[in-house]
Structure 1
Amino acid sequence: MRLGFVGTGGITRAIVTGLLKVGAEVETIALSNRTARIANDLAALHPKVRVCESNQQVLDTSDVVCLAVLPTIARDVIRELAFAPTHRVISFIPGLRTDELSKLIPDAVSVTRAVPLPAVEQGIGTTAVYPPHDVARRLFSSVGTAVEVESEDQFDCLHTVTATMASYFAFMQSQADWLIGKGLPPEKARTFLSSYCAGMAHRAEHTDYSFPELIKHSITPGGMNEKVLLELSSAGAFDLYPRALDGVLEWLKGFH
């Protein structure tokens, strides 16, 4: 696979770093020079990574092309490019659906959407993919887990829930602040909470329990887990998530 990236931001850096770390079977990796600092840093990691002089050169030296540009400029960027019938295109562009992508890129052999997450850098990221495609599946399974869905609406919903990352870390920070306020050193609080949360995620991933079952198994009647859950539930804390996510989904649809 000759892989190319049009757009060299944070997610491109995470994917390329992850691919190199796990030794993925990629022949070459071509990068656009739009963000020269990131592109040059990645090129320094391995000889198979090279920085191109233009976005078109990325296409000319690749057979799998990843589009990683902002939605506000995506259409203009794509219109300037000449795609070949051999190109397999994977788009990370929020809100730009496959029907419009196919019109913008009529010559490509396939067009797939994906939402890679930052943990692909460590080889443990989850990536939503639509429509199911063997190339995207192989690429993102090498740096974590590829979750393929059968409809674009399902894909947009998976994309929407990735908007909770900052809130998740804010939740961790609130616990860290409490621990630090009780006299625990900040580095101890961070180490404990990071490992604690990783353990819970591992349990969810590696058991057949549903989330309600995991909640039940985490509670001792009258115990401390039940106390915190009841207090947060009575305050409506968990009701805020669906409302916030509905707002993000509508925002994403605004890019259609």
Structure 2
Amino acid sequence: MAQSSESRAPQLTERLPLTTIIPRAWIGFSKAPWRFVGLTALMLITVSGLSVISRDLQQAEGLWQSTISDLVFVATIPSTLVPLVALLHLADQYLPSIHTAQSIEPAKGRQQLRWIFRQTAALLLLESVILIGGLNTLKIIGALMARQSGVFSAVILIAGGLALILWTLSQTLAIPLLVHHGHRPLAAMEHSRRLVQTNRLKVLALLGLLIGVNLIGLMGAFLGLLLSIPFSALLLMASCRTQTPWVSDSRRNILPT
């Protein structure tokens, strides 16, 4: 019975609690500011260091330098993904309510984090395959249609491009939902699509808020990003604490506790 109720839960209409994500994010950040800043600093230092090494090796002459440069560049992907997922997981723990995170034993928490890393990597790989496949399909269809009609080819490219953009936007919350709910990749993609479809304007407002926060962070260069990136992670994870209209717990959970 528990499994059936869980499977039906995501089918309910969910609303993003956009009006409360900023106070929730501030509460979460105030609980462990140095952990958030330290993890963000580790991510920025690692990515910046690998990028500098890759660029220097690329400028050097020689086949082995170019090969190592490519390998270092590829290594920036997991080097970014691992601390990013850890940051989202940390944000999920310290957002209200925190008592669920505290009940996790350390060994179990580490095991859960490793599982999240694997599922997130699979999710990104699946989304990349879909996106690259869609772009290549559009390119092939556009080239074939261009032989018959240039106007028709342009219409197909524009329509296909818009479809890919809308699909990409529908996956905005896939990784945060995977971290928060423990979804598998396909379930996270479907949950994100359904949630974005129900809250189109709120998702656009959330993206605008995230862009604004990080633009402000960029004004302070490295030190500004140390605050804007963890706050963005907290905003994303706070958005996963959705409200279901006409459910008794929804009104009680509207305001941060």
> TM-score when scaled to structure 2?
0.27
- In terms of fraction of residues, the more strand-rich structure is 1
> TM-score when scaled to structure 1?
0.27
More RCO (CA 8 Å, sep 6+): 2
- In terms of fraction of residues, the more helix-rich structure is 2
